[in-house]
Amino acid sequence: MSEFDYDLFVIGAGSGGVRAARTAAATGARVAVAEDRYLGGTCVNVGCVPKKLYSYAAHFHDAFEDSTGFGWSFSEAPRFDWAALRDNKIEEIKRLNGIYGRLLDNAGVTLLNARAKILDAHRVQAGDQTISAEKILVATGGWPWVPDFPGNEYVLDSNQIFDLDHFPKRFLALGGGYISVEFASIFNGLGSEAHLVYRGELFLRGFDREVREFTRDEMQKKGVNLHFETNIESIEKVEGGLRVSLTNGETLEVDAVLAATGRKPHLAGLGLDDMDIELNPNGTLRVNERYETSIPSILALGDVTGGPELTPVALAEAMHMVQHHFGDATPRPLNYDNIATAVFCHPNIGTVGLSEEEARERFEQVRIYTADFRAMKHTLSGSEERCLMKLVVDDASDRVVGAHMVGEEAGEVIQGIAIAVRAGLTKTDFDATVGIHPTGAEEFVTMRSITRR
């Protein structure tokens, strides 16, 4: 009989923690999960899922306008009801929370509704219980970080933005990452006067430069007010809203400010400060390829380890971790190259592989193919929205090392292209693929002219 209460004790019932718990339990391991907030973690509750639902809602604004060119007319202007969207979202999240609970229950995993604290290498405190486990997994994800400036108590973080009592007719997003760009687009689409403030000269640092510039231009065309190379100096509550003073001397008056300035690992109160666990320079937990911290019985995965902050990455890490510790064979290390991602701004961004800038640093010579066009849909809609598609090719091997898109349903399109990039297919393979006509996606297999080398 084991000397421990459980073989695996998971702290955090987000995407990675739940997948790890269920997969480990399927091997016969005795597993418990502690969660003090909500099942499904950031993605389900205050991240990917509600964000995408709000993005869908915001797209209807353009859809109503576009439809007139196709013969549709309305007896009165469409009216947006923020409370209906918010409350319907809440009900959908409750449904998903229930699904996660049933998944754990059906897998035979014990769920403890408590914030766990690690006492030592094999013991945790969960509520009023002290529990022992052969291995402890930290999968608590990230938590929003708000910068320090006068009046920062008036800002909202990305956990709070979904459930506002009243719709902000004037909205400001602070930051230059995914969340800021997405919510500036979302509230603009829902009818707000939307502003984005970013201290850098262009948002979405790390993405392909051409993609960033194209997205900037398209967002501006849709009415998002972009304020680059400036920051918030202070916020003052005034009659009717918030007065935001920027470091460039500009003053804006808005109803809500979202601080989308990054997330930090959610490690507060876990007891790790009292243990000699090695950290990465950015404060995340350092792990090896087996997801072991410097105390081997304490494991970690997902956002707390400093890797790509993406739900599918946490899911993949969870399955790899279980194979390492509870499987019959040792898996290869997880390959973090060519992980596709999407930004649900308007229009969407989808990308996989290397940016043009990264490819030029890595390869002696590259070929760049681009298509910048107005989608067939907009020949009748009257919209001036344009689409960008781009392939980055290593000239020596002919291998497609990067694929990028800005346009409608870019994430859906790039998911398929990601398989080809991951498989190492060449530009010749792309050229030999017969396209589906008429679609925008066929541009990825019909680009023949080199844009630049």
- Nearest residue to 6 (alpha-carbon basis) of 115, 180, 130: 130
Residue 46 has pLDDT above 90, yes or no: yes
Q: What pLDDT score does 2 carry?
A: 75
387-440 confidence digits (pLDDT tens) = 999 999 999 999 999 999 999 999 999 999 999 999 999 999 999 999 999 999
Q: What percent of the chain has pLDDT over 90?
A: 96
Same domain, 68 and 111: yes
Same domain, 161 and 138: no
Q: Are the CB atoms for 235 and 227 separated by under 8 Å?
A: no
Same domain, 13 and 71: yes
Q: Between the CA of residue 86 and those of 156, 171, 176, 417, what are the distances in Å?
A: 16, 17, 25, 34
194 belongs to a structural domain: yes
Q: What pLDDT score does 276 carry?
A: 85
Same domain, 246 and 359: no
Residue 289 has pLDDT above 60, yes or no: yes
Count the domains in the chain: 3
Task: Please give the average per-residue pLDDT across 141-159, as a whole number.
Answer: 96
452 belongs to a structural domain: no
Q: Quote the CA–CA distance of 30 and 292 in Å, as a whole number.
A: 19
Q: CB within 8 A of 368, min separation 6: which ones? A: 356, 390, 391, 392, 393, 450, 451, 452, 453
Task: Please give the average per-residue pLDDT across 332-338, as a whole number.
Answer: 93
Q: Which pairing describes strands 263-265 and 142-144: parallel, antiparallel, or unpaired?
A: antiparallel
Residue 360: give its domain's CATH number: 3.30.390.30
Residue 260 has pLDDT above 90, yes or no: yes
244 belongs to a structural domain: yes
453 belongs to a structural domain: no
Beta strands in 231-357 (DSSP E): 232-238, 241-246, 251-254, 256-259, 263-265, 298-300, 341-343, 349-353
**Predicted confidence band of residue 442 (pLDDT cuts 50, 70, 90):** very high
Residue 437 known to be catalytic: yes
Domain boundary among 227, 242, 261: 261
Q: Quote the CA–CA distance of 222 and 299 in Å, as a whole number.
A: 45
Task: Please give the average per-residue pLDDT across 177-186, as a whole number.
Answer: 98
Q: What is the pTM of this model?
A: 0.95
* Main-chain dihedrals φ then ψ at residue 281, nearest 5 degrees: -55, -30
Which residue's entry shows tokens 């994430």?
A: 411
Same domain, 44 and 59: yes
**Predicted confidence band of residue 339 (pLDDT cuts 50, 70, 90):** very high
From the list 166, 195, 227, 437, the catalytic residue is 437
Query: Domain containing 364: what range?
Result: 347-445
Same domain, 16 and 102: yes
Same domain, 227 and 311: no
Q: What pLDDT score does 433 carry?
A: 98
Same domain, 158 and 239: yes
Residue 290 has pLDDT above 70, yes or no: yes
Same domain, 85 and 221: no
185 belongs to a structural domain: yes
Domain boundary among 294, 326, 358: 326
Q: Quote the CA–CA distance of 176 and 261 in Å, as a whole number.
A: 8
DSSP assignment string, 170-181: EEEEE-SSHHHH
Residue type, 410: A
- The helix (run of H) or strand (run of E) holding residue 50 is helix 48-67
Residue 375 Cα to chain centre, angstroms: 26
Domain boundary among 213, 246, 261: 261
Q: What percent of the chain has pLDDT over 70?
A: 100
Q: What pLDDT score does 118 carry?
A: 97
User: What average pLDDT is seen over the chain?
Assistant: 96
Same domain, 298 and 395: no
309 belongs to a structural domain: yes
Counting Cα atoms < 13 Å in the Cβ hemisphere of 311 gives 16
Same domain, 127 and 75: yes
Q: What pLDDT score does 452 carry?
A: 97
Same domain, 132 and 166: no
Ordered strands of the 366-373 beta sheet: 341-343, 349-353, 400-406, 387-394, 366-373
Which residue's entry shows tokens 């290397």?
A: 354
333 belongs to a structural domain: no
Residue 60 has pLDDT above 70, yes or no: yes
Residue 1 has pLDDT above 80, yes or no: no
**Predicted confidence band of residue 329 (pLDDT cuts 50, 70, 90):** confident
Task: Please give the average per-residue pLDDT across 183-189, as a whole number.
Answer: 98
Residue 95: give its domain's CATH number: 3.50.50.60
119 belongs to a structural domain: yes
